[in-house]
Chains A and B, each alone.
Chain A
Amino acid sequence: MSKSVSSHNLRIRVAGLNMPNPTMLASGILGVSAETLRVVTEAGAGAVVTKSVGLKPSSGYPNPTVIQVECGFLNAVGLPNPGIHRFVEEIKILKDIGIPLIVSVFGFSPEEYAKTSSIAIEAGASAIELNLSCPHVKGTGAEIGQDPNMVKLTVKSVKDRVDKPVFAKLTPNTAHITELAEAAASAGADAITAINTVRAMAIDVETFKPILANKFGGLSGAAIKPIAVRCVYEIYETVNVPVIGCGGIRNWRDAVEFMLAGASAIQVGSAIAFEGLSIFRSICDGIDTYLKRKGFRSVGEIIGLAHKK
C-alpha cells in the first residue's frame, strides 16, 4: 500500500470502524463480486460498501439502466442481486481484506432488513449500510426511507439483531432530510450516509421515449454535489452520530468540502467512470497535502469546521 493512503494523519475512526483513510467505495459501484472489491481495496479505498443485497435474488430492470446526462449519470438498475444466502459466499472470501467491509442491505419490511443484515454480519461483514434511499424500486429504499417512522422501525429492528455498526443511507428526495436523520439516530443508527441519488428522468426527443427502461431513475454526479453538501451540513447540525458524505465527489477538494460540512468519511461512486480506481489514491494524496498546507495534524481536525462561528 502506498505511503499516502496509510499515512498516519489520514486515519479515521468512524462509528467504531478503523479506516486507513476517509475514502470509501459507494454502494452500487463495482460491489458485486469479492474479487472486484479486493481490486478496489488494493487501489487504496479506506473502506468498501457492497452493492445492495436483499433477502431474495432479483434480476433488476432491463437496460438501459445507466445513462449519461449533461451533469452526471442517471441510473435505474433496480437492485439486482443474488440474495443474501448466495452473497455470503462473496462476503466470506473477504475476511482478510484489511479494511472495513460494509454490506449494503435493502428489504421490503423492517424484518427483511433485519434478517438480511444479521446474515451478512454472521458471514463476516464489519458493518451494515441500510439502503433507505434507492429512488426507483417499489416497496423498498426511498419508499421506506422517506417515512421517518419507517426509518425508525427499520433501524431499530436491525439494531436489535446485529451487534456491529449500522449506517442509515438517506434519500435527498424529501422535504426535510434532518427528520429522517433524527429518526435513524434516535433508533440507534451508528452513522448517517448522505445522500443517495436524486430521483430524475431523461426523454429522447427523436423517439419520444423515456430512455431508462424504468422511466425514472436516480441522478448522480456533479449535479448533486451541492445538494449533498447541504444535506451533510444540515444533518451534522442535527444529530450526534458521524455523517458519511456521498454525492458527486471527484477529487480531494470535493472530499474536503464534504468534511468541512461535517462528514467523517466520504464515498466515491460515479467519478470512477472518469478517474478510474486511482481516484482513491489521488483523493488521499490531495487531502494529505491540504492538511499539511493548512497546518492540521489529522484529517479528523477538519470535520465540521465550516460550522465554526
Chain B
Amino acid sequence: MRLLGWHIKNNIVRIVEIELVKPENPQVKTIFFRDELCSLAEPGQFIMVWIPGVDEIPLSLSYTSRDGLSSITVARVGEATRALTSLEAGDLIGVRGPFGLGFKIVGGSALIIGGGTGMAPLMMLIDKLVEKSIKVTVIEGAEDVNKLIFMDRLKDLSESKGVNVLFATKDGSYGSKGLATELAEELLHRREFDVIYTCGPERMIRRAYELAKLHSIDFQASLERYMRCAIGICGSCVIGRYRVCKDGPVFDVAKIKDVEKYLGNLKYNERGEMVPV
C-alpha cells in the first residue's frame, strides 16, 4: 500500500529572522531573510508571509540567491503591510511557500511591463532572462518619481547586463510622461517583441493584454486575488474557473483568454461578493 503523507513540504510555516530592510522609496521596503525553500522559488511564485499576531498576506518573492537569501518587496497600503514595513532586522516573521505557477521562460525578445510592487516578481524574472541571455526591455510605470522602485538594481541591469530599462511616470517627473502601457504601445509600433510579461495594477495588465492581442505576441501576467489557504482548497482566490494560488498566479495567454471577462473588471472580495477590480 502507498504510504500517504499529509504534508505539503512547502506549506509548513517557517519562522525566519529579518536580516536586512532596504527602503525602495518612502512607501516601499524590501525585506531580506534566509530560507532555503524560498530561495529555490521560480520567478513569479509567491509566499504567504505571517506577521505574528497581525495577519498573513501573499507576496511575490523579489529576489533569491543560491545561498538561501530571499526577499519580498512590500508597499505600505493597509494594516498588515504597515506592520510588516515597520519591522526591523532581527524581527521574526513566518513564511510558507513558495506556491503556484511562475513565469515560463520563452525564447525571443521580451518586453516587461511592471507597475508598483508588481515589479517584484518581474525583477526575479529579469534576472533569470538575463542569465539565459534573452534580450530584455523593461518598462516600469509609477505615479511619479517618488513611487519608482528597484532603481539601483535596474541601473545595474542596464549598465552591466545590457537590459533596456525605461520608465514612465504619470506626471512626467521621471522618464516618459504617461502610463507604462502607453510607452509600451509606442515601443510596439517601432520594435518587434516575442512576449510580454507583466504584473501590477489589473487595469494595466488588461491594457497590456490588449496590446499583446493586437500585435499577436505571447503574453504572461501575474494576477492577484484575496487569498487564504494558498494551497487550492478554500476557493477564496478564484477567477473564473481558476484558482490564482494553484493555477496561477502567473496566467499564460490561454488561461487569460478564459478569464477575459473578469480581467481588470471583476473580482471576488473576502466575503465572496463579486465587486469591481
Contact = CB atoms under 8 A, between A and B. Distances in A.
B187 interface: no
Contacts of A204: 13, 15, 52, 94
Interface stretch (A164-172, A207-215, A292-300): A207-215
A207 B96 CA distance: 16
B199 to A, nearest CB: 22
Interface in A208-250: 209, 211, 213, 221-222, 250
**Interface on chain A toward B: helix, strand, loop, or mixed SS?**
loop
Contacts of A81: 271-272
Interface residues of B, number: 37
A16 interface: no
Interface in A57-104: 57-60, 62-68, 70-73, 75, 77, 80-83, 86-87, 89
A291 interface: no
B180 interface: no
B2 to A, nearest CB: 8
Interface string A24-44: 000011111101101100000
B272 A269 contact: no
B233 A270 contact: yes
Contacts of B7: 68, 70
Contacts of A38: 241
Nearest to A66: B229
Interface string B208-243: 000000000000000000001111111110101101
A18 interface: no
Q: Which residue of B8, B50, B230 has the most chain A CB atoms within 10 A of its CB atom?
A: B50
Interface of B: 4, 6-8, 11-13, 15, 48, 50, 52-53, 55-57, 92, 94, 96, 228-236, 238, 240-241, 243, 268, 270-274
Interface of A: 28-33, 35-36, 38-39, 51, 57-60, 62-68, 70-73, 75, 77, 80-83, 86-87, 89, 204, 206-207, 209, 211, 213, 221-222, 250-251, 269-270, 272-274, 276
3 closest residue pairs by CB, A with B? A63-B56, A66-B229, A30-B235
